[in-house]
Amino acid sequence: MIVVANYKMNLNLKDYKIVLKHLNNNRVEDTKLILCPPFVYVPFFAKNKTWYALGCQDVSANSKGKCTGQISASMLKDFDVTHCIVGHSDRRAFETNEDIAGKVKQLVDNEIIPIICVGENKKDEADALIIEQLRTTLSKINAKAEFYIAYEPVWAIGLGETATASYINKKVAIIKKEIKRLGFNNPILYGGSVDEENCINLKKCKVDGFLVGGLSLRTDKLISLLGRV
């Protein structure tokens, strides 16, 4: 199983020192853990990296130049970043599917694995939205590209309400069908109020792992989840 911890804009250096100490003392076999801290803490995570992989929460759609405040994929590569979340619903208000496609291309060109977030805003919303997100964001890469799709129904993020296993399986089937049609066959993760209790039921879904937000802030609970999936 793959577990991605998205710290979003939380914690500070003092907290992250404790997080890494805790994780370094509690290695979990057989689960691929990818930690995605805010940009400024990436050098600290890179320097102290042990058994987990290092990811980021966003990247520029451009390779260099007049992009004040942005960070390029090649800059992330300098710090051993191997994965990067793109298209998170927290960011979709500021970017289009086209923008996200550019980010995915930059990451793939720099051999960083994009974790592409897709998902509907409201429960039972038509699947056309997800299909369009997939079609456009995957339009600039070829069939050999490595990436993960993170299915995150926006209505299930951060509220303690997860989608049911059968709901997730239905959406995952649609995602798999669409990416197959586009020539891909890549891992699919689920995100949205996953915790160390409900993961026992959710791991029965046809997914390859989880993208967790709030749970990342409790390293003890994150370690419990890692041992259960």
* Interacting residues with ligand 13P (CB under 6 A): 6, 88, 152, 157-158, 191-194, 211-215
Q: Which is nearer to ligand 13P, 74 or 82 (CB)?
A: 82
CB 12 to ligand 13P: min, Å: 19
Q: Could you tell me the CA-to-CA distances from 124 to 30, 83, 119 in Å, in that order?
A: 34, 30, 11
The catalytic position among 88, 120, 178, 196 is 88
Q: Is 152 a catalytic residue?
A: yes
Least CB distance from residue 214 to ligand 13P, whole Å? 3
Tokens representing residue 132 in the block: 């369009």
Shortest distance, CB of residue 119 to ligand 13P, whole angstroms? 9
Give the residue from 71, 39, 60 showing the smallest Cα distance to 105.
60
From the candidates 83, 120, 152, 196, give the one annotated as an active-site residue.
Answer: 152
Residue nearest to ligand 13P (CB): 213
Nearest to 194 by CA among 171, 210, 174, 176: 210
Count of other CB atoms within 10 angstroms of residue 21: 12
Classified as helix, coil or strand, 134 is helix
Shortest spacing between CB 205 and ligand 13P, in angstroms: 15
Distance CA 147, CA 215 (A): 23
Q: Which tokens go with 40?
A: 């400024």
47 or 115, CB closer to ligand 13P?
115
Q: Are 32 and 1 in contact (CB under 8 A)?
A: yes
Distance linking the first and last C-alpha atoms of the chain: 7
Separation of alpha carbons 54 and 176, rounded Å: 26
CB 115 to ligand 13P: min, Å: 9
How far is the C-alpha of 153 from the C-alpha of 88, rounded, in Å?
11
Q: What share of the chain is helix, strand, coil (3-state, %, to 5)?
A: 40, 15, 45
Q: Specify the residue, 72 or 193, whose C-beta has the smaller distance to ligand 13P.
A: 193
Q: Which secondary-structure segment (H or E) carries 148?
A: strand 148-151
Would you name the residues annotated as active-site residues? 88, 152
